[in-house]
Amino acid sequence: MHNKYLVTDEWRIIENRWNPELHQGSESLFSIGNGFMGQRANFEEDYSGQSLQGSYLGGVYYPDKTRVGWWKNGYPEYFAKVLNSVNWIGIRFEINGEILDLAKAKVLDFHRELNMQEGVLYRNFKVELSSGLSFKAEVSRFISMQRKEIGAIQYSFQVEGGDAEVKVTPYLDFDVVNHDSNYDEKFWEGISQTADETSSQVKARTRKLDFEVSAATQFKLLENGTAFSANSESSSRDKYAESCLTFKAHEGSIYQLQKFAAICSSFHFGKEMLDQKAKDLAAEATELGFEALLKEQKSDWTRRWEQSDIIIDGDAEAQQGIRFNIFQLTQTYTGEDARLNIGPKGFTGEKYGGSTYWDTEAYCLPFYMASAGKEVARNLLVYRYNHLPKAIENAEKLGFTNGAALYPMVTMNGEECHNEWEITFEEIHRNGAIAYAIFNYTRYFGDETYLAEYGLEVLIGIARFWAQRFNWSEAKQQYVMLGVTGPNEYENNVNNNWYTNYLAKWCIEYAAEVYKKVEANDPSALERIKSKANFNSTAELEHWQEITAKVYLPSDAEKGIVLQQEGFLDKEQRMADDLPIEERPINQHWSWDRILRSCFIKQADVLQGFYFFEDHFSEEELRRNFEFYEPRTVHESSLSPCVHVVQAAKLNMMDKAYEMYLRTSRLDLDDYNREVHEGLHITSMAGTWLSVVEGFGGMRVKNGQLHFNPRLPEHWHSLSFKINFRNSVLQIELSNSNHKIEKLSGEPVEVLVHGETISL
Ligand code: BGC
């Protein structure tokens, strides 16, 4: 069913033999980044085998003109792509005239390792060249967490079997492509390039939007630890610069090329200063040296792990899985810049464009709230506040009025920019996730100032949208919502999707509740918001109430369940387990027509609603709906299993919970969906965190208090993690029979375990 080739280790991801057929997947798995940029685990040296070159910079994107056969009003003009950017890692090797290329040489030994504790990618290999000489290398590479523009490589190598004439060529290359480009265009045009014997620099501009990026490198060559200068020849051409270092390599000597790169983009710096900035930063890193930078990197990661680590005692695979997820989330988003967000593939691949989806609010926020703290979480919310004017424009383009806001399903700068009409467009439920995140954040931090400062304005826009999107049905004498796609993308354009109707109703109610709160707590803020939003409180609040009292929510009394959509029971009812293995995943084997007509569910839809609004339903209602919907769910979205873990654990269906847990936590490591070569599923990694903390740990925030109802898989001896809750940092250790909760810092706090209060 899936690929298992990595060694199980609690802190490291290890590949201990050369698997060329899996290399593109490994390039994703061993990706490194620092929240501002990321790099797939491409080789430094030339590689002519199957590979996806990828180096990405946060905020630097390309609006690729939408490709559709027949244009219709309301289509997004472009799809925003995370841009493949400068290849800063490149180092070409030529040994006695032969180019080092692992696709051509005979690989005798190969070991690749991502050390998650240190934030460093290591690789050792030995190859036999056609001349009969052997080439042995040890490579370390990282992107600095502390210095957002810096990447560093130490490439140690030896030649065995005789002396050899070696050419080592560190280079910078902006002549890169995006494989997912709509029109096979190149996205960069060169501005300038230079190279000399110890440095190079290339500056380029994106063809649209005029982002400018300057990359500078410096390098050092050492023989047995001592710097030496080789014969150097530098050259450059449009978008490219290299320095070719030629020397005689002696058998028995160890050589090292250290390469320090600084990449500065106009997203962060003024264009006029880019070149100088990159040059200075590269010089500063070189001056510090590889060892000092590495030390800094290790201690930065130690500090981050102190806050965010989860320890699972008794299950090494599960342990590796959760750490891998936390590691990747941390290197995708650090929360220092409210203009950045968390793309579904982060900096590890092109698909999904690196843009922001509802994934952030629906799945990622809790991880960052609990492990990165309030400021980081708040920046995720402010991101959407800053996009409110665009969300209002998006809604206007579709014919909505009076400040109704429809947030985009896919975005870089607030504009809708998805590539796919039929699924994505009608997934208007995303608007609800953005409102839910405001609720979730306030519930978690008890920070109601956010509501007056930013939250209410967003909620008014969202509530206005829903109030206009519902329509009165004479036939039903209720408000209905037609033509939507729920989270289950295997049903498009349906009427009265229960999740969307329920969420929309809740959003309007919540907006009214927050309005009253701000009215009571901060009347002057309310006046400001009312006049800015031109909010007619009497008429609008009354209209909202009229709608929410009469929303149609489809259900089936006989089965005691809610209905995913009005016609769900008309479908032929089949179970996912009865699908022949060779037809799965169905999205790769069935026609779209067949999928849409089937009862198979891609990801939690009704159950997503039960997850968000757990307290609105009894455990019995949850059980009936879970038992009905889960067996029809094929979990073909990476976002699916986590919600099911949380619910299965609550219902004490521990086998199901554990099965789903492995699927979410090792989704990429074991390549369950056979697509890891395209990049990692970053946003679903936050779902893994939810599975552990909310699922097995049973953590909830209710009435301002933290609750735990641990229910661990039987073979887990204990589960430990830290939680940053309302100015206190807590160390939680849970097992099925015991618990230990300690306050490490902060104010006094009460925690409930299985309903019993513990004062800390
Ligand atoms: C899921 C969406 C999700 C998107 C990006 C899709 O496969 O169905 O819910 O937003 O991936 O992760």
Kindly report the CATH number assigned to the domain that includes residue 553.
1.50.10.10
Identify the pLDDT of residue 1. 46
- Domain boundary pick from 306, 336, 351: 306
The verdict on the CB of residue 169 being under 6 Å from ligand 1 is: no
Domain identity same for 458 and 581 = yes
CATH number of the domain enclosing 93: 2.70.98.40
Task: Kindly state the helix (H) or strand (E) to which residue 686 belongs, with its residue range.
Answer: helix 682-690
CA R_g for the chain: 27
Position 90 in a domain? yes
Concatenate the DSSP letters of all residues of 359-422 into one string.
HIIIIIHHHHHHHT-HHHHHHHHHHHHHTHHHHHHHHHHTT--TT-----SSBSSSS---S-HH
- Domain identity same for 263 and 411: no
Decide whether any atom of ligand 1 lies within 6 Å of the 247 Cβ. no
Residue 487 Cβ inside 6 Å of ligand 1? The answer reads yes
Residue-level pLDDT at 2:
62
For residues 444 and 580, membership in a common domain is answered with yes
Give the number of the atom of ligand 1 that is nearest the alpha carbon of residue 359.
10
Atom of ligand 1 nearest to the CA of 681: 12
Please tell me if the CB atom of residue 600 comes closer than 6 angstroms to any atom of ligand 1: no
Which among 279, 306, 333 is the end of a domain?
306
Which burial class, exposed, middle or buried, applies to 580 when counting CB atoms under 10 A from its CB (0-12, 13-18, 19+)? exposed
Q: Is the CB of 485 under 6 A from ligand 1?
A: no
Compute, in angstroms, the gap from residue 563 CA to the centroid of ligand 1: 22
What's the longest Cα–Cα distance across the chain?
Answer: 89
pLDDT at 180: 84
Whole-angstrom Cα distance, residue 324 to residue 80? 28
Is 28 close to ligand 1, i.e. is its CB under 6 Å away?
no
CB atoms within 10 A of CB 587: 16
Choosing from 280, 306, 332, the residue where a domain stops is 306
678 lines ligand 1 (CB under 6 A): no
Structure confidence at residue 141 (pLDDT): 98
DSSP H/E element including 609: helix 606-612
Single out the catalytic residue among 149, 242, 489, 694.
489
Answer yes or no: is 571 within a domain.
yes
- Number of structural domains (the chain) is 2
Q: Is 486 a pocket residue for ligand 1 (Cβ < 6 Å)?
A: no
User: Same structural domain for residues 108 and 225?
Assistant: yes
pLDDT in tens, 423-446: 888 999 999 999 999 999 999 999
450 Cβ contact partners less than 8 Å away, ≥ 6 residues apart:
378, 381, 438, 441, 442
The 3-state DSSP class for residue 79 equals strand
Instruction: Reply yes or no on whether 489 is catalytic.
Output: yes
Q: Other CB atoms closer than 10 Å to residue 218's CB: what's the count? A: 21
675 lines ligand 1 (CB under 6 A): no
Ligand 1 pocket, mutate which of 488, 639, 673, 678 (most atoms under 8 A from CB): 639
25 lines ligand 1 (CB under 6 A): no
On whether both 549 and 435 belong to a single domain, the answer is yes
- Distance (Å) from CA 283 to ligand 1 centroid: 42
pLDDT of residue 672: 86
Domain-located, residue 391: yes
Contact 637 CB / ligand 1 (< 6 Å):
yes
Render pLDDT for 9-63 as a digit per residue (tens, 0 to 9): 999 999 999 999 999 999 999 999 999 999 999 999 999 999 999 999 999 999 9
Whether residues 404 and 509 share a domain: the answer is yes
**Ligand 1 pocket, mutate which of 489, 587, 611, 640 (most atoms under 8 A from CB):** 489
Q: Whose CA is nearest to atom 3 of ligand 1?
A: 359
Would you say residue 419 lies in a domain? Answer: yes
Residue with the smallest CA separation from ligand 1 atom 12 is: 344
By residue range, what is the domain housing residue 589?
387-600+611-621
Q: Residue 44 in contact with residue 139, Cβ under 8 Å?
A: yes
Residues of the chain with pLDDT under 70: 1-2
Report which DSSP code applies to 451. Answer: I
Please name the residue whose Cα sits nearest to atom 11 of ligand 1. 637
Whether 111 maps to a domain, the answer reads: yes
Distance 381 CA to ligand 1 centre (A): 20
Beta-ladder partners of 473: 478
Domain co-membership, 392 together with 299: no
Distance (Å) from CA 637 to ligand 1 centroid: 6
CA of 449 to the centre of ligand 1 (A): 32
Q: For residue 626, is it within any domain? A: no
Site of tokens 């999707």? 497
**φ and ψ at residue 388, rounded to 5 degrees:** -55, -45
Q: What is the CA(524)–ligand 1 centre distance, in A?
A: 40
**Phi and psi torsions of 192, nearest 5°:** -155, 160
CB 133 within 8 A of CB 96: yes
- Verify cis geometry, omega within 30 degrees of 0, for the bond prior to 641: no
pTM of the model: 0.95
Q: Rounded to the nearest whole angstrom, what is the distance from the C-alpha of residue 240 to the centroid of ligand 1?
A: 37
Angle between helix 456-469 and helix 537-548 axes, rounded to 10 deg: 60
Q: Whose CA is nearest to atom 6 of ligand 1?
A: 637
H/E segment holding residue 307: helix 290-308
Ligand 1 atom at minimal distance to the Cα of residue 637? 7
With a 6 A CB cut-off, is 695 part of the ligand 1 pocket?
no
Q: Is 537 a member of any domain? A: yes
Domain-located, residue 77? yes
Tens digit of each residue's pLDDT (9 = 90 or more) over 82-125? 899 999 999 999 999 999 999 999 999 999 999 999 999 999 99
* Alpha-carbon dihedral sign for residues 660, 664, 666, 668: positive
Q: Is the CB of 359 under 6 A from ligand 1?
A: yes
For residue 242, report the distance from its CA to the centre of ligand 1, in Å. 41
The DSSP annotation for 101-135 comes to -TTTSEEEEEEEEEETTTTEEEEEEEEE-TTS-EE
Q: How far is the CA of 358 from the centre of ligand 1 (A)?
A: 8
